Structure 1
Amino acid sequence: MREGDLTYDDFLQRLNIQDVLIDAGYHLNRRDGLRYPSYVRLDSEGRRIRGDKFIVTQQGKCCFQAQQQKVYNIISFIKAHPQFFAEYRAGMSPDRLVNLVCNRLLNHPIEDRTTRIIQPKRDIRPFDIANYDLYKFNPQDRETQKKFYPYFKSRGIDLYTQYAFHRHFCLATKHREDGAAYTNLAFPLTLPKGDGTVVGFEERGRARMDGSGSYKGKAEGSNSSEGLWIASPAQTPLAEAKRIYWFESAYDAMAYYQLNQKWDKELRKGVFVSTGGAPSQQQFKAMIKATPRAYHHLCFDQDRAGQIFAINFALTQAGKTFTSNVTKDDKLLVRISGEENQNYEIKLEPFDFHRIIGTLLRPKEIYREDGTLDYRTIGDGYLQEMSMVCQDEYEIALAEGSASEETLEGMRQNIMAIEDAIRNLPAPGEDSTDLIVYEPAEKGYKDWNEQLLAKIRLQESVHEEPARREEPEQERQARFHR
């Protein structure tokens, strides 16, 4: 964005919805009065087009159509009705149209920009599993298992866990044009709604001799934005899955299973998912759509990035269109766009996932103790305004006697639909976040693999201590016998 350019926030502050409605060809309907101004379209003879009416609400910032029960601000109105504006051209970006219309209404000049065509990179080929030599893990053949030892030993993943996930990893060797070949532990990526076709690999290399870690990444050409490592020891299909476990790496997923499978016998039936790094909203949306009734266990890393991933998942599952980022002073900024168009600034420390999600998603308490709706707590919510305006219109039409019985019946149906919508507003707690379990590693550990390695070291130290205590006693007895 160039210096001096206006932003969406500028448009929302400087313009009101009535400016946009007038520009779109609507006229003030004086018959409805000024308390809730309404705008209508007129036909070629100057008569009102029935059913094409917008009612202004929220102090002139938004409008709605009673029939649709949907609220628009100036930005969403322009995007939803592009054909009403002179700047619109077929195929135009909605954001570009908003900029042109709002800048014109504010008499703010905007420079014409030339279209830039960015050529895609031609040297990156799509992933093709045929380019790899695959070596599978066979639970019945110990010889095939030995080659996997260097990849799992340093991670503390035992043989029984490897047995459980053996269908979901392999060794993949790729031969380069210069004759060199390299092999990595590969976790195949597939699409939740796909046919099982492998669209990439999450790759891990051998542990380095100096203990400095190992290679991690994705195979060249992998579909990183949509592909996921999806594994179930019991081979549970996604359509039947009751629990989904989310991780940033397949190693973490296997570590979680190893730590918990002894006391959770149903864990084998769960579906373990790795995003192979920072998750995308496309990955979230595809899996949520494929498993609408499943509980989602968010087992991302304990660091700040993992915490933000969990928050983003909850917002995505709630159907929000949003952007989020963390400021230098460690505050979370979230902008929820669309009809709500709300901005949030939330302190992240001390981190409390449920508190943050409650701030972003929970509806206000709008019920009295006896369970009835308290209108006073809602203020000028658009459902209430819609109800009052529609009732006024109905009473006027009934008193004048100008409307037909069919029209009156339609108006009564509208009023009943609005009242029904008010009665069925979601009560506190009835939302998609009830299907989320926030489950990072224990405090003090970055991720589940780190927690597993710490547990293994603790067990080894416990076994070594009795051995050290026994040595002096054995030595004393040896001297006595001499």
Structure 2
Amino acid sequence: MTDYKVNFKDLKAKVGIDDVAYALGYRLDRKAGVGRYMELVLGDGKEKRDALVICHPQDKASQRFFRRDGSKGDVVTLIRENLNAFNVSGKDEWQKIAKVLSRFANMPEPEYREDREYVQSVRYHATFDSSRYEVKPINPDKIPAIFQQRGLSDETVRTFAPFIRLIRDRKNENFDGYNIGFPYTNGENDKVRGYEMRGYGGYKSKAAGSDSSSSAWVADLSGGYPNVVKSVFFCESAFDVMAFYQWNRKQLTNEIALVSLGGTFSDGQIRQVLNRFPGARPFDCFDNDLPGRIYGLRMMALVENIPLKINRTRDSLEVEANGRSFRLDPERPFQVQVKEHLSVRYDMGQWLPPKAFKDWNDCLLNKPMEVRLHPTKQDQINNLAERRNAGPKL
């Protein structure tokens, strides 16, 4: 079996210098402005350790950077300079760079021969084995830098520290360090049924055999009194949960629980959490992208006890519910459109990220989504006329 070949050109088209820089802790220098160029800095004030000037910030495939000292490069250059920060294995630096690029591009990591035994050991574990992982608590006086890189303050980390662990996979012979582990429970008892895992360099995964069908990461800030919890906030990741809390802290009480589904959505996860907090109102805090809005729609259907079937089409969603069929326009809030067709009791709340941001962590990092301009009707007419006139002249 040959090794998986990596197309660096394709990967570079999907991973921007800014993506890697943000993960390394760089921040946008707003004083420099954003246009044909953008400047990212590492550190603040007198402690500024580096500054990257990035050209073509809106086009990942064309991005290049330079420094005031004359050094320059592309996304591969930046990864090579910081390779030790990403905790990847490989025979040489090119194998390691390929893995880092794949992670940022949300593509399968290249599987080299020395990794396969470990990959197979992960793949075929159907149930979670807690003895596989060495676990220790977060030291509040020595908080891992990854939290700061995600914009999370020490105060926020200390608030969530009782619900976070450092975990090391004893069967991973290629990485002997610790990742951040967010333990999964299902509310029936305190038994850990898996982990949402995060590490440096954009690494994200779940512990082998984690129960994603009925368990989730739950941070109950009530002090262990589920009956007093009034609100439960659902996010797609643990970092989004913590960012949501930090951004909205002044508006929140301690009579809350915050939940990460770990990038998945199952009816059992939602039901188990709601059973755990019977008097609480659930809130949709999922992402602003289409998958996130579908999560919100599915949770509303569960809360309202409405059997719902959703089919994605090219430019809309087709919904079947209570014997009715209707389409949803992705450009309008789904819940508003559903209420035009179905009777809804308003049992579920919404607390979405600001529209300019994909998720709560991007909001905290001040990392807005790319703006896509939709053509006007006149633009479409002009474009069609140009295409018609572009044919051969007789």
- TM-score class normalised by the smaller sequence: 0.5 to 0.7
5 Å matches for 1:192-211?
192=187, 194-206=188-200, 208=201
Instruction: Kindly indicate whether the alpha-carbon contact (under 8 Å) linking 1:188 and 1:202 is maintained by their aligned counterparts in 2.
Output: yes
Task: State the Cα distance separating 1:297 from its structure 2 match.
Answer: 1.4
- Is 1:215 matched up with 2:203? yes
Inter-partner Cα distance in structure 2 for 1:230 and 1:356? 30
- Is 1:439 matched up with 2:351? yes
Q: Name the structure 2 match of 1:255.
A: 243
Aligned residue for 1:442, secondary structure, equals: coil
- Is 1:289 matched up with 2:270? no
Task: State the Cα distance separating 1:285 from its structure 2 match.
Answer: 2.0
Cα deviation, 1:418-451, whole Å, max 9, x if unaligned, reads xxxxxxxxxxx7x2xx221111100110000000
Aligned residue for 1:162, secondary structure, equals: helix
Inter-partner Cα distance in structure 2 for 1:264 and 1:177? 42
Match of 2:151 among 137, 156, 166: 156
Task: State the Cα distance separating 1:134 from its structure 2 match.
Answer: 1.2
Cα deviation, 1:159-202, whole Å, max 9, x if unaligned, reads 0001100101111001227585342110000003x101110000
Aligned residue for 2:131, secondary structure, equals: helix
Task: State the Cα distance separating 1:227 from its structure 2 match.
Answer: 1.1
Match of 2:318 among 318, 325, 333: 333
Aligned residue for 1:334, secondary structure, equals: strand
- Is 1:183 matched up with 2:178? yes
Match of 1:228 among 213, 216, 226: 216
TM-score w.r.t. the length of structure 2 is 0.58
Identity between Structure 1 and Structure 2 (%): 28
**Cα distance change of structure 1 residues 182 and 347 upon mapping to structure 2, 3 Å threshold:** same
**Cα distance change of structure 1 residues 235 and 361 upon mapping to structure 2, 3 Å threshold:** farther
Aligned residue for 2:365, secondary structure, equals: helix
Aligned residue for 1:333, secondary structure, equals: strand
Cα deviation, 1:224-260, whole Å, max 9, x if unaligned, reads 1111100023424333310000000010110011111
Amino acid in structure 1 at the alignment position of 2:169: K
Inter-partner Cα distance in structure 2 for 1:128 and 1:218? 13
Inter-partner Cα distance in structure 2 for 1:222 and 1:229? 11
Inter-partner Cα distance in structure 1 for 2:335 and 2:175? 51
Inter-partner Cα distance in structure 1 for 2:123 and 2:360? 38
Task: State the Cα distance separating 1:356 from its structure 2 match.
Answer: 2.3
Amino acid in structure 2 at the alignment position of 1:323: K
Match of 1:350 among 322, 331, 341: 331
Amino acid in structure 2 at the alignment position of 1:255: A
**Cα distance change of structure 1 residues 264 and 216 upon mapping to structure 2, 3 Å threshold:** same
Instruction: Kindly indicate whether the alpha-carbon contact (under 8 Å) linking 1:243 and 1:271 is maintained by their aligned counterparts in 2.
Output: yes
Cα deviation, 1:90-139, whole Å, max 9, x if unaligned, reads xxxxxxxxxxxxxxxxxxxxxxxxxxxxxxx9932411222211121243
- Is 1:264 matched up with 2:251? yes
**Cα distance change of structure 1 residues 167 and 247 upon mapping to structure 2, 3 Å threshold:** same
In terms of fraction of residues, the more helix-rich structure is 1
Instruction: Kindly indicate whether the alpha-carbon contact (under 8 Å) linking 1:236 and 1:271 is maintained by their aligned counterparts in 2.
Output: no
**Cα distance change of structure 1 residues 354 and 177 upon mapping to structure 2, 3 Å threshold:** closer
Q: CA RMSD of the aligned region, Å?
A: 2.3
Amino acid in structure 1 at the alignment position of 2:151: G
Task: State the Cα distance separating 1:283 from its structure 2 match.
Answer: 1.1
Inter-partner Cα distance in structure 1 for 2:286 and 2:251? 20
Inter-partner Cα distance in structure 1 for 2:251 and 2:209? 37
Instruction: Kindly indicate whether the alpha-carbon contact (under 8 Å) linking 2:197 and 2:206 is maintained by their aligned counterparts in 1.
Output: yes
How many pairs align?
A: 247
Inter-partner Cα distance in structure 1 for 2:150 and 2:163? 17
Amino acid in structure 1 at the alignment position of 2:277: T
Q: Name the structure 2 match of 1:137.
A: 138
Instruction: Kindly indicate whether the alpha-carbon contact (under 8 Å) linking 2:228 and 2:279 is maintained by their aligned counterparts in 1.
Output: no
TM-score w.r.t. the length of structure 1 is 0.48
Inter-partner Cα distance in structure 2 for 1:203 and 1:177? 14
Match of 2:303 among 293, 308, 317: 317
Instruction: Kindly indicate whether the alpha-carbon contact (under 8 Å) linking 2:212 and 2:264 is maintained by their aligned counterparts in 1.
Output: no
Inter-partner Cα distance in structure 1 for 2:361 and 2:134? 28
5 Å matches for 1:31-430?
123-139=124-140, 142=141, 145-146=142-143, 148-149=144-145, 151-176=146-171, 178=173, 181-192=176-187, 194-206=188-200, 208=201, 214-261=202-249, 263-266=250-253, 268-329=254-315, 331-336=316-321, 340=322, 342-362=323-343
Inter-partner Cα distance in structure 2 for 1:180 and 1:154? 21
**Cα distance change of structure 1 residues 244 and 447 upon mapping to structure 2, 3 Å threshold:** same
Instruction: Kindly indicate whether the alpha-carbon contact (under 8 Å) linking 2:284 and 2:351 is maintained by their aligned counterparts in 1.
Output: yes
Task: State the Cα distance separating 1:351 from its structure 2 match.
Answer: 1.8
Cα deviation, 1:13-37, whole Å, max 9, x if unaligned, reads xxxxxxxxxxxxxxxxxxxxxxxxx
After TM superposition, the structure 1 stretch with the greater mean CA deviation from structure 2, 159-168 or 293-302, is: 293-302
Amino acid in structure 2 at the alignment position of 1:355: V
Task: State the Cα distance separating 1:359 from its structure 2 match.
Answer: 3.2
Gapped regions of structure 1 (runs ≥ 5)? 1-120, 209-213, 363-428, 457-482
Q: Name the structure 2 match of 1:462.
A: none
